[in-house]
Structure 1
Amino acid sequence: MLDREQPEPITSRLLDESCAGTAIRHGFFTRRGGVSKGIYEGLNVGLGSHDERAHVVENRTRVCGWFPLPTERLATPHQIHSSDVIIIDQNYDGARPKGDAMVTGTPGILVGVLTADCGPVLMADPQAGVVAAAHAGWRGAIDGILENTIDVMEQCGARRDRITACVGPSISGPNYEVGPEFVDRFVRDNAENGAYFTPSANESRSNFDLQSFILDRLAGAGITAQQSGQCTYADESMFYSYRRTTHRGESDYGRQISAIGIVDGGSVGPAF
């Protein structure tokens, strides 16, 4: 990946169409277009990684430049796999508060989440001018991060019947093997959750369809949504993956970013 490359994020056709004619832009960024090297090669934006900080800062600058907005207007949380949602307004000071979703109605600010297998979810009510980015791993999804994000969007003036959402690149079911205690946790919460598990090639283990689980949670909350369908584990050239790194015994991993904001101008990436 050459330094001269620039980010080429994926965009959602659903979000593009619903936000047409507005200043709302979004992107699910990949590894492409960054300056990081080694195991982080590409567009690693993880401030919590052990990558060279100058590389991470440059990568985040490139993300902001695609919209375009100044780097200091990119708000990302200190993610903790919670159901906590943060409102970002004109008083944003660059801090990284703990939580797993951000909502804003303030023009000129990007809200984003970092992932490396978990589900990034971008949402917008273009009529109200309210957008959100949520980090939905299995724990956050089952604990209500998506529903809480929608509630906070409504507090900011959105209406759920106008919200559209997209679940971005994340780990797919065939690559997400879990143990019986994981399955039990989901089935105890709701017996119908058993439908998200299929038998694994390894005895007593199962494969979990996180992408469908997130999509169905959004549908259950009354949100029109789609998923991109890409698997972060399977496509190493495009995406970082925590689980792939773990299976290889590598020391660390990069993070990709998904971001949305109310901005002006610029071009758009390839829509799915």
Structure 2
Amino acid sequence: MTVRHGPQGDDVLDVVPLGPGVLAGFTSRRGGGSAAPWEGLNLGSAVGDDPDVVAANRTVLQRRVGVPVVLATQVHGNDVVVVHEDSSDPGRRADGLVTTSARVAVAVYVADCAPVLLADPVARVVAAAHAGRAGLVAGVLQATVDAMVREGADPGRVVAAVGPCIAGRSYEVPATLRDDVAAVVPEAATRSAAGTPAVDLAAGVAAVLRRCGVREVHVDGRDTYADPALYSHRRAVHTGGGATGRFAGVVRLLDGGDRRGG
């Protein structure tokens, strides 16, 4: 498991290495037009922000990656959809998106949950998964890897990147909830900075991916709760505002002449 701290990219996308012919990365607040309290590149359309501004922010991301960006309505479950073309389907409910097409990018948006990007650059299969506490327990990562395999991927070749998410030191939960998660993913059990029961999403995600056969996992390492450059739902609630935006993890296959990953 490789841990990478902090931005590695340009003014919109912090690029992560998932292999040749793949562009992948995570956004932050940088580069957007949303006003406070969503200030920055808010990509969430259901958090109270101006819909026109959100649409403009999504256009900024689309221009950066060079193709339409496909998102789904996320429900903290384990449903996975294979996307073959751009489709603005408001009824698409899924927490994992897979594609073999260079004509679209797949993405998930988050504000404490873990955005997980995966790629088999040989089979040319990529995926994005939304792995919060509930999705981790429900098996969204296993379902996403299984969907990739059905499209020709080999888990041993898959490279994964776990984006910024709330760290274990910041994710205090009741002991019963921590134990429920640990019963399914023991590696996610931890203690907060105050010594109370907590959940470590990144550690849990990495462990599940390894059990799926994914050997190369990059972990961003940034804590959304502690980093004001990132959106955090829990931080917004604790500071009294409650409203915050969403950043995203996005991945696409490049065509032969595209050099956007550089």
TM more than 0.5: yes
Equivalent residue in structure 2 for 1:109, among 96, 104, 107: 104
Alignment of 1:240-255 (within 5 A): 240-255=231-246
Count of aligned residue pairs for this structure pair: 249
**CA separation of 1:199/1:49 partners in 2, compared to 1, >3 Å: closer, same or farther?**
closer
Point out the structure with the larger helix share. 1
Gaps of at least 5 residues in structure 1 are 1-5
Residue equivalent to 1:232: 224
Q: What residue in structure 2 maps to residue 168 of structure 1?
A: 163
Q: How does 1:31-110 map to 2 (within 5 A)?
A: 31-69=29-67, 73-90=68-85, 92-96=86-90, 97-110=92-105
| Equivalent residues in 2 for 1:1-272, closer than 5 Å | 7-13=11-17, 15=18, 19-20=19-20, 22=21, 24-69=22-67, 73-90=68-85, 92-96=86-90, 97-189=92-184, 193=186, 196-198=189-191, 201=194, 205-223=196-214, 224-236=216-228, 238-264=229-255, 265-268=258-261
- Separation in 1, partners of 2:13, 2:184: 35
Task: Give the partner amino acid of 2:78.
Answer: S
Distance 1:188 1:114 in 2: 27
Alignment check: 8 A CA contact 1:45 1:60 kept = yes
Give the match's secondary structure for 2:37.
helix
Query: Could you say what the CA RMSD is over the residues aligned between the two structures, in angstroms?
Result: 1.8
Contact 1:7 1:66 (C-alpha < 8 Å) held by counterparts = no
TM-score by length of 1: 0.86
- 1:3 corresponding residue in structure 2: none
- Which stretch shows the higher mean deviation, 45-54 or 260-269? 260-269
Question: Aligned-pair distance for 1:199?
Answer: 5.8
TM-score normalised by the chain length of structure 2: 0.90
Distance 1:266 1:174, change over 3 A: same
CA distance in 2 between partners of 1:198 and 1:150 (Å): 29
Distance 2:83 2:206 in 1: 25
Bigger mean CA offset, 258-267 vs 27-36: 258-267
Distance verdict in 2 for CA 1:199–1:158, change over 3 Å? closer
d(CA) in 2 for partners of 1:143 and 1:12?
26
